[in-house]
């Protein structure tokens, strides 16, 4: 696994008490289709794989010598660094479907992510899209940087609500990876956001 998915630390993508019922339901939906291990230790491959999520990369990364010791010790992943309990900011879990080259995020937007009254800030939506597509591009192509993210905001996301985010591979050209992403209501009936990303 690429480094950010293999370190040993608290896994933030496991269910916690702040998750609402929709978040838990969708988690169960995908988690039940992940690899299972029988009592005799035999593994049965699943369609989906849950991606663990940690808040520190530098601790485990080699290099980074150009950064000060203070930065190296204090650096935290933006989406996992809010100490306030109770699902205040980004609650999310990602599942990857290697065979179909799709990656899904389930995202519950906490009260600190407000933009327009009662709705999620556009920058927070961009952040979670970058997270899902950036992670997906990393799984498909190894370490990448986001070169371009193009976002169309179609309908507001209610604060406290849960949405379904899906990233799919459009094409690869040499070292470039092109993805599309859709953010919808959990039943898929309402389109909130559409995006394309070049990595
Ligand atoms: C822990 C789990 C992980 C969580 C996931 C989080 C994911 C978050 C990902 C990020 O947010 S990364 C941070 C935001 N991104 C950056 O800061 C990137 C800053 N930009 C760069 O570092 C460089 O501009 C970049 C690496 C994107 C490109 O530099 P290169 O030196 O490789 O570009 P070059 O000029 O050689 O161009 C290579 C190709 O890319 C194309 N290209 C470059 N910049 C582009 C651009 N901005 N948009 C579209 N295409 C671009 C360029 O046209 C060219 O196409 P061709 O090969 O077809 O000629």
**CATH number (domain holding residue 134):** 3.10.129.10
Q: How many domains does the chain have?
A: 1
Q: Which residues, given as ranges, of the chain have pLDDT below 70?
A: 1-8, 59-65
What integer pLDDT is reported at residue 1 of this predicted model? 47
What's the sign of the alpha-carbon dihedral 127, 131, 132, 134?
positive
What integer pLDDT is reported at residue 69 of this predicted model? 77
- CA 4 to ligand 1: nearest atom: 1
Q: Is residue 103 part of a domain?
A: yes
Q: Is residue 95 part of a domain?
A: yes
Q: How remote is the CA of residue 144 from the centroid of ligand 1, in Å? A: 8
Q: Is residue 4 part of a domain?
A: no
- Is residue 134 within 6 Å of ligand 1 at its C-beta? yes
Kindly state the tokens that stand for 12.
């933030």
- The residues assigned a catalytic role are 130
Residue 53, Cβ density class (10 Å: 0-12 exposed, 13-18 middle, ≥19 buried): buried
Q: Indicate the top mutation candidate among 123, 147, 199 to test ligand 1's pocket, ranked by most ligand atoms within 8 A of CB.
A: 147
Residue range(s) defining the domain that contains residue 31: 11-52+82-198
Q: Is residue 184 part of a domain?
A: yes
Q: Is residue 31 part of a domain?
A: yes
Q: How remote is the CA of residue 101 from the centroid of ligand 1, in Å? A: 21
Closest CA to 159 of 104, 194, 116: 116
What integer pLDDT is reported at residue 40 of this predicted model? 83
Q: Is residue 63 part of a domain?
A: no
What integer pLDDT is reported at residue 66 of this predicted model? 72
What integer pLDDT is reported at residue 73 of this predicted model? 82
Residue that the structure tokens 């109770």 belong to = 86
Q: Is residue 39 part of a domain?
A: yes
Q: Is residue 48 part of a domain?
A: yes
Residue 137, number of CB atoms within 10 A of its CB: 26
């Amino acid at each position: 696994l690429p480094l950010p998915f293999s370190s040993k630390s608290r896994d933030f993508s496991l269910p916690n008490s702040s998750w609402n019922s929709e978040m838990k339901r969708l988690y169960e939906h995908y988690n039940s289709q992940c690899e299972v291990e029988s009592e005799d230790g035999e593994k049965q491959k699943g369609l989906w794989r849950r991606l663990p999520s940690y808040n520190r990369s530098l601790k485990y990364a080699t290099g980074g010598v150009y950064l000060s010791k203070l930065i190296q010790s204090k650096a935290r992943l933006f989406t996992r660094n809010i100490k306030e309990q109770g699902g205040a900011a980004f609650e999310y879990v990602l599942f990857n479907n290697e065979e179909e080259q799709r990656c899904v995020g389930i995202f519950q937007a906490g009260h600190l992510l407000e933009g327009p009254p009662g709705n999620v800030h556009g920058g927070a939506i961009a952040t979670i899209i970058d997270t899902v597509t950036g992670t997906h591009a990393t799984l498909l192509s190894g370490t990448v940087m986001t070169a371009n993210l193009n976002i169309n905001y179609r309908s507001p996301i209610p604060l406290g609500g849960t949405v379904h985010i899906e990233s799919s591979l459009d094409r690869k050209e040499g070292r470039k990876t092109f993805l599309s992403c859709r953010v919808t209501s959990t039943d898929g009936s309402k389109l909130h956001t559409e995006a394309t990303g070049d990595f």
